[in-house]
Amino acid sequence: MGVLDYIWLGILAVFQGPEIFSVAGFGISVTLVMILSGFLMGILVGATPGLAGPMAMAISLPILISIFGFTPDALLPVMGFLIGVMKGATVGGAVPAILFNTPGTPDAYMTTLDGHPMAKAGQARKALKIAHVSSASGDTFSDVVLILCAPFLAVLVEAYLDLPEKTALLILSLAFIASVIGGSVGKGLISMGLGLFVAYVGTGEDFYPRLSLGTQTLAQGFPVATAILGVLILGEVFKALEDLWWDRRAARPPAELVQSGDQRLHWADIRRIAPYIGRSAVIGTAIGALPGIGSTLAATLGYASGARVHARTRPGERPFGQGAPEGIAATEAANSSVSGANLIPVLSLGIPGNAAAVFLILAAESIGGFNPGPSVFKFTADAVNPELVVAFGLFTAMMLANLLNWTIGGVFMRVAGVMIRIPKHILLPVVLLLTLTAIYVQEARMSAMWFAVGFGVLGYGMRRLGISPLPFVIAFILGGKLEDTARQAFAATGGDVWFLFTSPVAAVFIALAVAVVVLSLRRPLEAKA
């Protein structure tokens, strides 16, 4: 079977999957409904400060698995819903930033610099339209790069990297993620070390569990849902609840924004912002393809690059930071183009690059039948590779989510602005209850609930100490894969303890890992000097 055959099978898997209902005799696939539902939910979540796409994905995943089960037919509906949430939350994050000067996520902060001044000047609708067009454009460009690059990279990895090289590549990825996330490489390494430590509790060979303290509960290891949801979601909820406890000031209702002037987005406006969209889309895609960096740096670099060009080419016009439409375009195109590119290391290497990618891998591991990595893109002539069909089904789902973004995303992101008015003292307990319910649905034992609370306290402490929880989560996900690959490489090389250094490619990866850590350690010292 050729590439076109697998592309067609992937499209059919989305459009002709299990039917949920029919319209005029035409069956509607449950995957299509889940993509639409996830997209709409993502916009609402993205438009609500304090919430984010990964939080909605974390809460939804256990509930979706309990509904669809662990059959191969559940893969595309569940992952289609998660992709929809990821896409919708990316574009919806501009709503509170522009209308209320309240960035829901760190990367949306750059949008407030020009978006809210435009809103105060009576151009709120036009600012939202610019954000929508820029976000959808950057997201589409990133998805096209993903579809073209992920299979090519996977084929290269499978052809040239053996077990020692794959082990060294995992070590390089962990070192890279620990070094670039957060303000301190030391804190990143601490977070990564904690994640590896927790991943190895209860695991081992020959029925001898490690680090279990002789208890049967720890001998089973920590459930994935409790560790990830506890650190990412409960930790953030605990921190937000404490912030509310200490916040004595009365909440003020958002000021009414009076609209004035022409709110339409003309062709001249699109031509004016198009160069900024293109430049930021390339920047965001390049950054998104590197695991662990994320959209915050992409938004910052896209905005800074656009500001330099704008100051040089349009010196007499309104500068960035004072309501320039180009500032919104540069920021939104950059942070949106990260989402698709972040799946390049996921599908080609099996390495998650951000929190959203973590939950896509978690869904694949929980349901089964799809193992992200180089083996996904194996083209077999005599039989159908079901994983490759799922991969092209995911590509189809992403393009459908992009189509929804272009068609109805702009309308719903403006309607979603009402979510800003929900008080946090009501919203946060609801999130806490939904998270604990989702954990219990998947694990159904009280020890899992206690584990989740414990990891929530750990996540709270990490945030208070300025330690990013993302290296912890990614290390926890990759810990088992790293050990299995290292064991296989050790056995395949005849018990050579230096297998990471006998292969030139593996030695280069290890050297790069050391260089990344050393250079990251030197950066603060140079800054102080």
- Tens-digit pLDDT profile for residues 338-388: 877 878 878 877 777 666 777 788 888 888 778 887 778 877 666 788 888
Using DSSP's 3-state secondary structure scheme, residue 445 falls into: coil
Q: What is the pLDDT of residues 401-454, one digit of tens each?
A: 989 988 888 777 766 655 556 676 777 787 788 778 877 877 777 888 898 999
Please identify which residue in the block is written with the tokens 């590549």.
169
Which residue type is seen at 180?
Answer: V
Q: Token pair of 318, please?
A: 């309104």
d(CA 205, CA 448): 23
d(CA 336, CA 113): 17
Q: Of 47-56, 75-84, 219-228, 471-480, which gets the smallest average pLDDT?
A: 47-56
DSSP bridge partners of 19: 29
Q: Of 99-113, 330-344, 477-491, 508-522, which gets the smallest average pLDDT?
A: 99-113
Which residue type is seen at 23?
Answer: V
pTM for the complete prediction?
Answer: 0.74
DSSP bridge partners of 55: none
Using DSSP's 3-state secondary structure scheme, residue 379 falls into: coil
The answer to whether the beta carbons of residues 112 and 101 sit under 8 Å apart is yes
The answer to whether the beta carbons of residues 167 and 486 sit under 8 Å apart is yes
Question: Tell me, what's the pLDDT at 526?
Answer: 44
Q: Token pair of 4, please?
A: 């076109």
Q: Of 55-64, 94-103, 223-232, which gets the smallest average pLDDT?
A: 94-103
Four-residue CA torsion sign, 331, 334, 337, 343: negative
Question: Tell me, what's the pLDDT at 349?
Answer: 75
Average pLDDT, the chain: 80
Four-residue CA torsion sign, 184, 484, 387, 66: negative
d(CA 326, CA 113): 11
The H or E element spanning position 27 is strand 26-29
Q: How many CA atoms lie within 13 A of 288 on its CB side?
A: 34
The CA distances from residue 341 to 143, 172, 226, in Å, are 7, 19, 28
Q: What is the pLDDT of residues 267-278, one digit of tens each?
A: 888 888 899 999
Return the C-alpha torsion angle 10, 89, 429, 367, nearest 10.
10
d(CA 45, CA 467): 25
**Does residue 305 have a pLDDT over 90?**
no
How many of the other CB atoms lie within 10 Å of CB of 336? 35
- Phi and psi (nearest 5°) for 29? -70, 145
How many of the other CB atoms lie within 10 Å of CB of 490? 17
pLDDT bin (cut points 50, 70, 90) of residue 507 is: very high
d(CA 161, CA 481): 16
Question: Tell me, what's the pLDDT at 457?
Answer: 94
Question: Tell me, what's the pLDDT at 525?
Answer: 45
Euclidean distance between the first and final Cα of the chain, in Å?
A: 60
d(CA 339, CA 46): 14
Identify which of 148, 120, 379, 193 has the alpha carbon closest to the alpha carbon of residue 285. Answer: 148
Question: Tell me, what's the pLDDT at 478?
Answer: 80
**Does residue 92 have a pLDDT over 60?**
yes
Question: Tell me, what's the pLDDT at 505?
Answer: 87
Regarding predicted confidence, which is higher, 454 or 264? 454
pLDDT bin (cut points 50, 70, 90) of residue 297 is: low
Task: Give the chain's length.
Answer: 529
d(CA 411, CA 400): 17
Can you tell me the mean pLDDT for 224-228?
A: 82
| Own/partner long-range contacts of 2-6 (Cβ < 8 Å, ≥24 apart) | 2/379, 3/379, 6/379, 6/385, 6/388, 6/389, 6/392
Q: What is the pLDDT of residues 9-56, one digit of tens each?
A: 888 888 887 778 777 777 788 999 999 999 988 888 877 765 677 778
d(CA 233, CA 230): 6
**Does residue 486 have a pLDDT over 80?**
yes
d(CA 356, CA 83): 9
The answer to whether the beta carbons of residues 219 and 202 sit under 8 Å apart is yes
d(CA 499, CA 493): 7
d(CA 204, CA 181): 30
Using DSSP's 3-state secondary structure scheme, residue 22 falls into: strand
